[in-house]
């Protein structure tokens, strides 16, 4: 006897929310509150019932989220690397002395200064299209952006150099999306479950556990990247001073994402990461 499978069809309405992080463009992010400026207003819509789910760039979502909310799904990850765009086709190694490099990220600027302390870091704000336009107009000698955003918007043809992971380790969760919803909303959770990618979730959980183990939403440069091989998680974490001169890099492997991330965070602290975090936070 043949039977048909009926799949419920949900009609979705897209709501575009302009956050404070999108509106305040004349100051560097660390000066106006950091990553939470891109997520708080979306979370308020979820908590009030004005929206059923919210899509975030996972690297911008703080490790501590409201108790009534949860990450309903993390789809398969896109590109994790950062990319450099230069009007004159420069790579990091060929940028002239005292060249201006635009970025809104302390993590990127610190790692860049660790290999090119002669460069001049300048604040870069605006959406991805605006940032690329500024680079192509020559307002900066180069800019650095997350490769995932460029590829999703079809702007990766402007990239002059993909930065290797041993040069520029990404932010925890970079390249991944997180879809947030109420933890009690079973209907939305069931729908989102079909989009969840097990390996991506495990990798980013380890990365965010490393960040959390260092103290959560640190305003100092922290990077992490995990790769899954079968049931084994390989995680690398980095804490670096803003000037790029003090670096603590740790790596390890394990099967439990949370445990591995926390253990590597404690190893980094034992090797002096706490001194970097504390000294940069009191500036």
Q: Which active-site residues does the annotation give?
A: 60
Sign of the torsion formed by the C-alpha atoms of 85, 86, 91 and 92: negative
Q: What are phi and psi of 213, to 5 degrees?
A: -65, -20
Which residues in the chain belong to E strands, given as ranges? 53-57, 69-73, 82-85, 100-103, 120-123, 142-146, 161-162, 177-182, 222-229, 232-240, 247-254
Which helix (H) or strand (E) segment holds residue 147: the answer is helix 147-152
Termini Cα distance of the chain: 73
Interior CA angle at 77 toward 194 and 268, to 5°?
120
Which residues in 13-68 belong to E strands, given as ranges? 53-57
Q: Which residues pair with 143 in a beta bridge?
A: 85, 102
With both helix axes pointing from N to C terminus, report the angle between 257-270 and 273-281 in degrees, rounded to the nearest 10. 80
**From CA 194, how far away is CA 191, in angstroms rounded?**
6
**From CA 241, how far away is CA 16, in angstroms rounded?**
36
């Amino acid at each position: 006897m043949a039977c048909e499978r009926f799949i419920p069809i949900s009609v979705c309405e897209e709501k575009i929310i302009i956050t404070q992080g999108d509106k305040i463009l004349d100051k560097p992010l660390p000066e106006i509150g950091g990553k939470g400026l891109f997520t708080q207003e979306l979370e308020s819509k979820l908590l009030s019932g004005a929206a059923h789910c919210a899509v975030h760039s996972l690297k911008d979502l703080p490790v501590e989220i409201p108790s009534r909310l949860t990450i309903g799904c993390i789809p398969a990850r896109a590109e994790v690397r950062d990319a450099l765009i230069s009007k004159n086709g420069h790579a990091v190694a060929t940028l002239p002395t005292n060249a201006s490099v635009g970025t809104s990220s302390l993590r990127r600027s610190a790692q860049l200064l660790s290999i090119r302390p002669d460069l001049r870091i300048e604040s870069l704000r605006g959406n991805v299209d605006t940032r690329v336009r500024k680079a192509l107009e020559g307002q900066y000698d180069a800019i650095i952006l997350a490769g995932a955003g460029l590829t999703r918007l079809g702007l990766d043809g402007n990239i002059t150099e993909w930065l290797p992971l041993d040069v520029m380790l990404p932010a925890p969760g970079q390249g991944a999306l997180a879809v947030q919803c109420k933890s009690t909303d079973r209907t939305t959770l069931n729908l989102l479950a079909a989009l969840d990618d097990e390996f991506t979730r495990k990798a980013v959980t380890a990365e965010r556990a490393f960040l959390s183990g260092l103290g959560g939403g640190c305003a100092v440069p922290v990077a992490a990247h995990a790769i899954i091989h079968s049931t084994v998680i390989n995680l690398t974490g980095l804490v670096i001073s803003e000037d790029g001169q003090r670096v603590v890099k740790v790596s390890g492997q394990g099967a439990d994402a949370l445990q591995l991330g926390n253990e590597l965070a404690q190893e980094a602290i034992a090797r002096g990461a706490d001194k970097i975090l504390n000294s940069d936070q009191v500036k």
